[in-house]
Chains A and B, each alone.
Chain A
Amino acid sequence: MNVVVCVKQIPDPAIPGQLDPQSNFLKREGKLILDDSDAYGVEMALQLVDAAGGGEVTLVSMAPNNEASGLRTALAMGAAKAVLISDPALAGADALTTAKVLAGAIDRVKPDLVLTATEATDGYTGTLPEQIAGILDLPSITFAKKIEIVGATVKVDRQTEAGYDEVEAPMPAVVSVTAGVVEPRYPSFKGIMAAKSKPVDELTAADLGVTPGAGQQIVSVIAAEARQAGEIIEDDGEGYLKIIEFLEQQKVL
């Protein structure tokens, strides 16, 4: 079984991000790392390929400046190869353009399954998996917390607010996975050394026949409202009454 995992390389979230004052886009010039939320998809893919007894995991990523450090991390975990689309023409691409690019790259691999995260840690758009599925005309399942392959069917426990739904789709399909799906492995020393010689195919938008659209414009950025200070109630033995009153106000009780 061959699985493609879409992975994003993002600025280290531990370092406070900065917006470009002209374009209002997140600055992504420095070193990029593998988005933590994509490590789950990589791990899931590795486990599925293992369980199937054959096949390989291919990474697909779009990133500026041919940045591949995040890909190396996923290759060190065990992915076999990567496709990296890097093109100045794609700077500031919107979600749809990105989806077209990724879909174009996925289509070349013709995998049995495509895994993505539910959303990227630096963007939070969360629309990409469905857009990719739409472009490739594939069934799509979101928020997988468990994946099982039975024959040519992918069976998924799909996280909902109340619990989970059991859903399935014929493969190939696009499935987005939550952080709960599996515990990502640590890249091992051997994996790190092996990653060095694994192929990273570099492509441009033109190679995939994608013409970047008008893209998106961020017209203004407003700081999030600071959280209001909470109300502190001293418990004089009757504190619980205040809690009940508050919960009633909120219509929880």
Chain B
Amino acid sequence: MDFNETPEQTMIREAVARIAGDFGHDYFVTKARSGEKTTELWDALAGAGFAGVGVPSEYGGGGMGVTELAIVCEELAAQGCPLLLLIVSPAICATIIARFGDDAQRSRWLPGFATGELKMAFAITEPDAGSNSHRLSTTARRDGEVYRLRGTKYYISGVDESDAILVVTRTSVDEETGKGRLSLFVVPTDAAGLERTVIPVEITAPEKQFTLFFDDVEVPAENLIGTPDDGLRQVFHGLNPERITGAAMACGIGRYALDKASAYARERRVWDVPIGAHQGLAHPLAKAKIDLELARLMTQRGAWAHDCGDAMAAESANMAKYAAAEAALACLDQAIQTHGGNGLATEYGLADMWGIARLLRTAPVSREMILNFVGQHSLGLPRSY
């Protein structure tokens, strides 16, 4: 067993940390607050090939895996610049298209993912389906050479900055179980009949969230990814990278918070010693650090398992997402506490990370659904729903 990263992985870490560090958290927050995008950061990152690290090399990508993409996500967040779009576009969409797309689809979209010039949002969540993807009601009906999409999606990130959306739809129903059979479509964001409205959220991030209304949106049949009615399996393949990169982002946020907290606790004196000498502060920080490192380990294992096709990928990815979100919140909360009143000051750049850290407990899959999964699959407990 070898817990060392390869020299190349370490260098990816360092290079991404440098890029993100040069932009920095203030840049990230300024852009997010003014409703602008972090385009310069994305371009620097993508231009150096880091958005496309996981895209197969025959399409111009880095030919690496989720392990490396997770490193990219973690380092960005550790510099205070977590980018949700990386989780959606390269981690979910590119992974699904690389795995299930036909030759024409791969040639059409993967080169754009490789350079980062193509951004693709991912839409599965619906107002009435919630965590139950069997109940999706957005439908796609074949009509000659096209499909027609009808329905509503919500909480879809980054649609305004994406060229297209990978939309999960129901194309038929299994008569026996009554469950929907799913199919995935690439829908251009400017397709006729597709409307969107912003959902205001209390998250400081450049990506906005949208409700999408599909009113008979016509999509060419060649935009259906892979096999019709096989969407659920395809989605599951993309959800592990989503969870792993989401976990990596959470780990990065945890590191960001602990770096700030420990630096502050070493310097700040209220009595005769630095406040870090008080165990009341040191122990919670140490515990947060332990939880964080445990979460990082599970994230790495999830990435490794996904990359080598190991069967433990789903369990590890779920556990990593759970542990990392909890660790990030604990780190951030304790960092804020360590900073006293300053913890809530804009200047210290901690409280503004709360929304995104807190989001990771709910999305991409909620804490409860992970606990359901572990109860059922890891412990063999009866399913509750």
Contacts and interface: CB of A to CB of B under 8 A. Distances in A.
Contacts of A189: 12, 15, 48-50, 52-53, 62
B8 A196 contact: yes
B11 A72 contact: yes
A186 B44 contact: yes
Contact of A193 (B8, B14, B47, B50): B8
B118 to A, nearest CB: 17
Contacts of A187: 11, 14-15, 48
A24 interface: no
B: interface residue count bin = 10 to 19
Interface in A50-77: 69, 72-73, 76
A195 interface: yes
Contacts of B47: 188
Interface of A: 33, 69, 72-73, 76, 186-190, 192-193, 195-196
Question: Could you say which of A188, A189, A196 has the most chain B C-beta atoms within 10 Å of its C-beta?
Answer: A189
Contacts of A195: 11
B10 A69 contact: yes
Contacts of B10: 69
Given A69-B7, A192-B8, A193-B8, A76 B49 contact: no
B11 A192 contact: yes
Nearest to A196: B8
Question: Could you say which of B11, B12, B47 has the most chain A C-beta atoms within 10 Å of its C-beta?
Answer: B11
B4 to A, nearest CB: 11
25 contacts: A33-B14, A69-B7, A72-B7, A72-B11, A73-B11, A76-B15, A186-B15, A186-B44, A187-B11, A187-B14, A187-B48, A188-B15, A188-B47, A188-B48, A189-B12, A189-B15, A189-B48, A189-B49, A189-B53, A189-B62, A190-B49, A192-B11, A192-B12, A192-B15, A193-B8
Nearest to B16: A186
Nearest to B68: A189
Contacts of B44: 186
Given A72-B7, A186-B15, A195-B11, 13 more contacts: A69-B10, A73-B14, A76-B15, A186-B18, A187-B15, A187-B48, A188-B49, A189-B53, A192-B8, A192-B12, A193-B62, A196-B7, A196-B8
B19 interface: yes
Q: Per DSSP, are chain B's interface residues mostly helix, strand or loop, or mixed?
A: helix
Contacts of B8: 192-193, 196
Interface in B6-44: 7-8, 10-12, 14-15, 18-19, 44
Contacts of A69: 7, 10
A192 B15 CA distance: 9
A195 B48 CA distance: 15
A72 B10 CA distance: 11
Contacts of B53: 189
A186 B11 contact: no
B48 A186 contact: yes
A189 to B, nearest CB: 3
A186 B52 CA distance: 16
- What 4 A-B pairs are tightest by C-beta distance, nearest first? A189-B49, A188-B48, A192-B11, A187-B15
Nearest to B63: A193
A190 B48 CA distance: 8
Nearest to A31: B10
A196 B50 CA distance: 17
Contacts of A193: 8, 62
Nearest to A187: B15
A186 B19 CA distance: 7
A182 to B, nearest CB: 15
